[in-house]
Structure 1
Amino acid sequence: MKKLSIFFVFILLLKITTVMAQDKTIKILVLIHSDNGGTYELAKEIASGIESDKNALAVIKQVKESPNPKLKNIPVASVEELPSYDGIAFGSPVYFGNISTGMSEFLSKTVNLWTNHSLEGMPATVFMSAGSGAGKELALNAFWNSLAVHGMILVSNGIRGYENISKTIPQGNTVLGTTSLASLKDVERPTKDERGLAELQGRNFAKTALALKGTFPKKQPAANTEKSQDINDLLKQKNIILPQVPQPAGNYKPFVRSGNLVFINQVALKDGKILNPGKLGVDVTEQQVKEAAKATMLNVIAVLKEATGGDLNKVKQCVQLTGIFNTKEDYTKHADLMNAASDLTVEVFGEKGKHARATLGASSIPVNSSVEIQAIFEVE
């Protein structure tokens, strides 16, 4: 009986030890944006340093898909998953003394996390890949500023490893985080020493993250209860058929993208001909102009689909629609005519389709169209 009691006590202690060990296991996200692979090389060393502690797991993800073959198999992180980790190591190229555009765009989407205090108290560290090295401290500071706003605990690298690096060539060590000087000729980058500094940074960060585990709540952002429907499925359900993209009749393009904005101008072309051409009240009725406005908006959406690489789900917002109508001088109901285009936009894009709007009349419109629509969309 005594032996049996000892056995059960042993099993109980084993289970308690196992639970305690599991409780001390941490998962750290190594989140990067990389252009030519330099930041990714540092990320691998950071991850190696993190996992040198057997209680730590490193997960490398990128903020957006990359055309670089070296990076094509790296998964893309979502903003919503960030609070689920015990720490985040952020890596980015240096862009003119600042964070890269890709990383900056990703961080700009974390407003909901900031509002809900989702990252407060979580440890963070940063590393970067520079060109000449000029501006690297500015860029690292910019990184730190963004993370400080979230209330993250910033873990610096200090002067760890400095005594072991070669002093014969420029190295990317800084007290704020490891960097690599990618443009130095005849020297492989990251250098062996830079890789060593990154590995050391990962080790130190894992130690800090382990110490802080359980000291901050993992607050998930407020759930978005509105589930967006795939727009391609919606078009099929509503039997909305987009026309082929009208080809330019002059020295211009169907659309121009500037940053995340797409600019489009279209007229009432349908099946190669102008639908219901002419002037309202002279050649066409209000109902015919509304039909033309809807056809024009279908052309706009068709061009928009081409601008988004065939994926209308990348549309974030219809920003502005301007309807220009071929009317007589005394006509004043332009807004009623434009409703056909506005209603279609909201039907297709939902809340994202609600827009600012302008309408006006003109004495004539090119190719005798009764309507022209100018559109501005924000896309991913």
Structure 2
Amino acid sequence: MTDTVTAKLAELGLTLPEPAAPVAAYVPAVEAGGLLHISGQLPFIDGKLVRGRLGEDVTLEKGADAARACALMLVAQVKAALGGSLDRVERIVKLGAFISSTADFTDQPKVANGASELMVALFGEAGRHARSAVGVPVLPLGAAVEVDAIVAVRPA
């Protein structure tokens, strides 16, 4: 799986970022019962946090790009949690997308597609997943989007 994802990243002109350190009292990943739970990741593009609210000062396109950046960080966290390899990844089970948005913004699923589409592009059929896309009034550090994940993994 590692070689396939690496090739897809190169094909898309993307590189995995360094896994972000936690900003509070939690760990980036917990493996239990064949599932790897990845804590919510924030969107960094060109080293800068994408801040703001959809329906106010962040466009739908920028929101989808932010969700994609979250997905890249999720993959980086998975790789780090699995000892530097993605070979144990069986499937992306679920993504939870949280979109900072105004009360009248209803395109959260379109924003979350930025993350979902990247997972399918990188993992193929194993990247198809269940998902939640939820509008919230505010996210940590003023981020526009946050995405977490549950990933099925093979035993070590």
For residue 252 of structure 1, what is the aligned residue in structure 2?
Answer: 26
For residue 205 of structure 1, what is the aligned residue in structure 2?
Answer: none
Q: SS state of the match for residue 279, structure 1?
A: coil
Contact 1:308 1:379 in 2 (8 A): no
2:71 equivalent among 293, 297, 301: 297
| 2:119 maps to amino acid | T
Q: Report how many aligned residue pairs link the two structures.
A: 152
**Alpha-carbon distance, 1:339 to partner:** 0.8
Higher strand share: 2
Residue 233 to residue 270, structure 1, CA distance change in 2 (3 Å): same
Partner deviation per Cα, 1:137-170 (whole Å, 9 max, x = no partner): xxxxxxxxxxxxxxxxxxxxxxxxxxxxxxxxxx
Alpha-carbon separation, structure 1, partners of 2:70 and 2:152: 19
Matched, 1:268 2:48: no
Q: Percent identity?
A: 36
Q: CA RMSD in A?
A: 1.7
**Alpha-carbon distance, 1:314 to partner:** 1.7
- Structure 2 stretches lacking a partner, 5+ long: none
Partner deviation per Cα, 1:316-371 (whole Å, 9 max, x = no partner): 01000111101111221111111111000000000100001111100111110011
Residue 242 to residue 345, structure 1, CA distance change in 2 (3 Å): same
| 1:319 maps to amino acid | V
Matched, 1:359 2:133: yes
**Alpha-carbon distance, 1:262 to partner:** 0.9
1:343 equivalent among 109, 117, 125: 117
Alpha-carbon separation, structure 2, partners of 1:231 and 1:273: 24
Alignment of 1:79-228 (within 5 A): none
User: Which structure exhibits the higher relative contact order, with contacts defined as CA atoms closer than 8 Å and separated by 6 or more residues?
Assistant: 2
Over 4 Å off, 4+ runs: none
| 1:249 maps to amino acid | V
Partner deviation per Cα, 1:252-281 (whole Å, 9 max, x = no partner): 111111132111121113454312x11112
Greater C-alpha radius of gyration: 1
Residue 313 to residue 239, structure 1, CA distance change in 2 (3 Å): farther
Contact 2:55 2:105 in 1 (8 A): no
**Alpha-carbon distance, 1:315 to partner:** 0.7
**Alpha-carbon distance, 1:229 to partner:** 6.4
Matched, 1:231 2:10: no
Alpha-carbon separation, structure 2, partners of 1:357 and 1:269: 21
Alpha-carbon separation, structure 2, partners of 1:236 and 1:287: 22
For residue 56 of structure 2, what is the aligned residue in structure 1?
Answer: 282
TM-score by length of structure 1 reads 0.38
Matched, 1:379 2:153: yes
